Chain A
Amino acid sequence: MALLILDKLQKTYGQTAAVHPTDLSVDAGDFLAVLGPSGCGKTTLLRMIGGFVAPTAVRIHVGGQDVTGLPPERRPTNMVFQGYGLFPHMSVRQNIAYGPKVAGWPAAQIASAVDDMLALGQLEKFADRPVTDLSGGQRQRVALVRALILKPQVLLLDEPLGALDAALRASLQDELRQIHRQIGGTFVFVTHDQQEAMAMANRVAVMNDGRIAQVDSPQTIYGQPADPFVATFIGEAALLPVTVRQGRVRLPGGREAVVSGADGPRAVVLRPGDVAPAPAESPADLTVNVTDSVFQGGYNRLSLRTADGLLLRADVAVGVPLPAPGESIGIVLPARPLHTVKLPS
């Protein structure tokens, strides 16, 4: 049974729809990433769950309870805000203790819960500092454990790492994943960073223009994107136009390949790992022109252009002979069924 259910959740500001009618369900224990470009409605979606934005039409259920009409303070959710929202007139400890204090926990219970949270966020050393003295990463951890101390049924995080630099972000990603593993619980976090979504979540909801385009595991999102937007927003992809007949396509090199998807004009999704130079003496699926070749550390990345002007990328293991830029080469596509999406408009 799903813990969080959004049933036709929708928000319009005047004439413009920030979030189109959206269904989404999140299971207990899920770490769900809501991923999409800036302005696609992620924050609005999250704030409707938290109770900060009144939806235009819908139901929101958390743990079987309809919370649609409840104000934030009465919802079984807690939020880590974009920009943290710490109380600047309080110390780290006071910030963390705030929720339990308002809820009227006994003092001894508050003290021990705060100590647990200080340990969880590695904040023991800063416990009695004013939060205004902390660095961005430390503030982020205070905001996180301040929300976690109330053991929310669903923890909502709005671009939690958005304001931090790359190195700090990577280490906090690990920390956040560890915390999720340690305490269990259900996290819904919003990000525009696809690497972050893939790295942290066990499920990813890709949003585009106020709609959820696909909800799946990171592997499925990457391997079987639902539409051209998901295919190109998540990782690198080239979309090779083809015509599908009875579940098959004829590749330019002559081979008949099995594909997913309905018959008609479609596009094959090609990831850099799917494209390889054809071994000598074997037939190629496609002939391309090499435009660039860049050493990436563990592999070389080739930039390729088809006769129709489509740009492809291919990752080639170090040690395999490399074609030079300007050369015309044959490439092969995987033997497994190819994934197709509808043609981009």
Chain B
Amino acid sequence: MSGTVSQGILNDRIWPLILPAAAVFLALGVGPLLWMFVISFWRVDVFRIAPDLTLRNYIDAVSLHGRALASTMALGIAVAAICTVLSIAVATVIRFAKPRTGQILLFLVLVTLFGGYLTKIYAWKTILGNDGVINSGLLTAGIISTPIEQLLYSPAAVIAAMVGFLLPFAVLPVAGALRAVEMIEIEAARDLGTGPAKLFRLVILPRIRRGVIAAFLLCFCLAVGDYITPILVGGGRTALYGQMIAPQFGTLFNWPLGAAMGFTLVVAALFTGAVCAALLDRVLR
């Protein structure tokens, strides 16, 4: 039915309307990417990039930084998994709390999106740093005598900061999917013998499957591409792929390698994301 409706509305004459937007998108979005793709096969002559057709950069991208790539994927999966689980909990409360409470909670979740990325990162520094809230609390209480430096500048700190930042992005698709689950479906499931625990597994999770996968992928993509958080909260101790790409376009001046690493990251993220999505799809069905 929706097919016939959209066929009726989307006749050939409306296609020219998307031309301006398409032009902007192609020129500013796809164009530079294509240019980078071309550069990824070039080489660096003394302080100058020179046209070439070599796979050297891709080989380096994997062989020199393979470990970083793997730990970036692992970090992305960890962050996305934590965000997804938390978002299901938060969205469930939003959906099944009293309407007013649910609205307020959803509003609070949305408001944190306005907080700004750097603000949140620095907030984590003031929580986890040597004179941060936790350390000074523990010092004052006399539980420790010197600050625990590992609080900040550790993989756990990076994960915590990223989860804090990405959680709202995960809550939105899950809350949207949950909103579509009607009370009457849940009542029918109860009526047919489903206790509260099984209800989640048998009715709610399968119904919000797509929203959960969307939440996971959204968080995963944003996490693997992030290179600011690892620098600011992770210090030098976490070697993530994004951190290694950025200097190629700056201090290290190796655009071809940077471009190749960029595309390597995209391919690795697409592949890992697809595998995770397929797994989730099977598990949640």
Contacts and interface: CB of A to CB of B under 8 A. Distances in A.
Nearest to B207: A89
B190 A87 contact: no
Contact of A73 (B191, B203, B209): B191
B194 interface: yes
Given A52-B187, A99-B193, A150-B192, 16 more contacts: A51-B191, A52-B191, A71-B195, A72-B187, A73-B190, A73-B193, A78-B192, A81-B184, A81-B191, A83-B184, A84-B188, A85-B182, A87-B188, A102-B193, A143-B188, A146-B188
Contacts of B182: 85
A310 to B, nearest CB: 45
Contacts of A51: 190-191
Contact of A150 (B189, B193, B198, B202): B193
6 contacts: A79-B188, A81-B184, A85-B184, A85-B187, A86-B188, A87-B188
Nearest to B190: A72
Given A85-B185, A102-B198, A50 B192 contact: no
Given A87-B203, A89-B206, A102-B202, A81 B188 contact: yes
Interface in A55-108: 71-73, 77-79, 81, 83-89, 98-99, 102-103
B203 to A, nearest CB: 7
Interface string A248-265: 000000000000000000
Given A87-B203, A89-B207, A102-B198, A146 B184 contact: no
Of B190, B193, B206, the most chain A CB neighbours within 10 A belong to B193
Given A87-B203, A89-B207, A98 B192 contact: yes
Interface string B191-213: 11111001000110011010000
Nearest to A72: B190
B136 to A, nearest CB: 49
A290 interface: no
Interface string B166-188: 00000000000000001011011
Contacts of B187: 52, 72, 79, 81, 85
Given A72-B187, A85-B184, A102 B206 contact: no
> For the complex, would chain A's binding face be called helix, strand, loop or mixed by DSSP majority?
mixed
Contacts, number: 65
Closest 5 CB pairs of A and B: A85-B188, A85-B184, A99-B192, A72-B190, A102-B193
B192 to A, nearest CB: 4
Contacts of B191: 50-52, 72-73, 77-79, 81, 147
A81 B189 CA distance: 11
B137 to A, nearest CB: 44
A104 B95 CA distance: 29
A98 B202 CA distance: 9
Contacts of B185: 85-88
Nearest to B186: A85
Contacts of A81: 184, 187-188, 191
Contacts of A103: 193
B190 A71 contact: yes
B189 A98 contact: yes
Contacts of A98: 189, 192, 202
Nearest to B182: A85
A85 B181 CA distance: 10
A25 B270 CA distance: 64
Contacts of B209: 89
Interface in B26-53: none
Nearest to B198: A102
A191 to B, nearest CB: 18
Nearest to A101: B202
Of B182, B191, B193, B198, the most chain A CB neighbours within 10 A belong to B191
Nearest to A149: B192
A40 B184 CA distance: 21
Nearest to A71: B190
